[in-house]
Homo-oligomer: A and B are copies of this chain.
């Protein structure tokens, strides 16, 4: 069957950015320059023109940008996304007879004026050998004549006439004059002609292109634009129930407020609290995850729901809604945001169990199916059934949990185990919430297989936990970060890296002592624009596992209240503060896409740079980091710098300032030696600056 319009000769392929054939939006951040590229071509020798069309979802019409032709039929264009939310873009291309005419006329006139023809190069890649004679100059008798040029002028006048019909007002009259002048020239049959159009005239004609047979992809593509904090964020996690200054009292939200100055002074911008809802009583776990809690045991905040309420309630021991609202305000004053933990699972005491039994799986014996990972049983947790006949009711209720807290001012959520809830639910839920609140950040706490982690990101999660926690060797750090900071992954996945969490005390921290805590902190803060620590366990170097070979903490705060001495002398809080200061004052560390690894001849030293171009009058910002990954021994090595990535010319002298110590070095060559002692400071964090000439 023939197409509806078979005269559409232009093909548009390989539009980027594009995720899974346009199934999901690509993700960008507010203020980003979006580079769009595509392959656009047609048959034959005619010139092609192409435009990028783009708009924010609330714009009523497209903005239009002329694409630039690169070699080999690739085209590109750039626009800035200056509003949060969903954007659309597409491309249109057409055979541009006017542009072809201009180029051909120039060649005819050049041939005529030279009185001879330059020999045409013949290469199938860069030019076209369509005609068997293309490699040969024109034969005598086939050269351009004044008559040929007169005909060309008349053809051109016809093309301008057509532009007149598409124009109006002053443009139409100006175009009419151009057409007339071309016809006059044609009538003169001079022996020699100059090129007849000014560049203003050419631009005026090009302003009214012939879109009769314009090609356009069937589907628009989409971008989702997040706010700056989605790209660059520093998270601090703490258990509010351990925040009490009185060791005999359960910590309260008001106690958290008292610690805010300290957290803000460390330079964090997001305070993340584990679930603050009422904790279940049935099958409550005791300290160290013991099966039966004793009276007074506080239970796990992730066993959500009790007679006091569920996901829209506050654990009475933590405080009231008034306290909550007060905390949200206090955070604002300290330049901090609250991240809430949303864990969609229920204790047997959760109100949903009674009110919506259809949201759970029922066993043949009439009981509700608790969480299992056979043969292990978690009788204190009921998972939700995403195959419930009332899935629509379930989805609505879950989305309303986010909306409930959003209505109380929360704009950041850390979502617990999203990969155990149906992926189509997340896509619907996040998109629905984002429609009216595009500034909300969702962090996916999924530690599972790559396809599922990436699918959560495609479905809408703003940031994602990563495998960073388990990537300790140089080669695995490098290959993992190269994967997640480059397209296609970086087009939908934004990492948030954590050296520890309440669930994960990695062996490297158990065994590496204080240097390991410093190393992993430096890696997290400088490899990724978003990171977080679970404190004060991290600053205080808490490193004892519940048992050998386990990644669980001994006396884990998940099951009991802990008392922390934040002022302990061995705390690495000063290093945390320093690193956050460096991150906040260096734009290079506020993005992931510029990450670049430099070779070092020592497998224990990892070296990488990040950069940000000059902007708003600020010069380019370039950070170069070298980390000794060995927690025990001094390591030295020669770095082979990729100077181009640092913005440094060949044989140019430049300054590197270690921002951790303030020491300046003057370097010139690619090769530079570093030696790093883990007990003192396992890394250099250099700012690289060109010297004034």
Contact = CB atoms under 8 A, between A and B. Distances in A.
A132 interface: yes
Given A6-B424, A138-B377, A395-B6, A448 B130 contact: yes
Nearest to A132: B503
- As for how many copies of this chain the complex holds, the number is 2
Contacts of A144: 374-375, 377
A148 B369 CA distance: 11
A216 B339 CA distance: 37
A144 B374 CA distance: 8
Contacts of A388: 7
Interface in A491-518: 502-503
Interface stretch (A35-43, A246-254, A261-269, A607-615): A35-43
Contacts of A551: 122, 135
A136 B289 contact: yes
A111 B374 contact: yes
A142 B291 contact: yes
A143 interface: yes
Contacts of A198: none
A108 interface: yes
Given A131-B373, A136-B550, A291-B141, A425 B6 contact: yes
B122 A451 contact: no
B8 A13 contact: no
Interface stretch (A166-174, A413-421, A586-594, A630-638): A413-421
Contact of A372 (B104, B289, B558): B104
Contacts of A8: 424
The 10 tightest CB contacts between A and B, nearest first, are: A111-B375, A21-B21, A154-B364, A124-B447, A107-B374, A104-B374, A141-B291, A73-B451, A138-B376, A44-B420
28 contacts: A1-B428, A2-B392, A6-B386, A6-B424, A7-B386, A7-B387, A7-B388, A9-B422, A41-B451, A41-B452, A44-B383, A73-B450, A73-B451, A95-B387, A111-B375, A120-B376, A125-B467, A129-B503, A133-B378, A136-B546, A136-B550, A138-B376, A139-B290, A141-B291, A142-B378, A148-B377, A151-B364, A213-B387
Given A3-B428, A9-B424, A129-B503, 20 more contacts: A2-B392, A6-B428, A8-B424, A9-B387, A11-B455, A39-B451, A42-B422, A43-B422, A45-B420, A72-B451, A95-B387, A104-B374, A112-B375, A131-B381, A131-B417, A132-B502, A139-B289, A139-B290, A142-B379, A144-B374
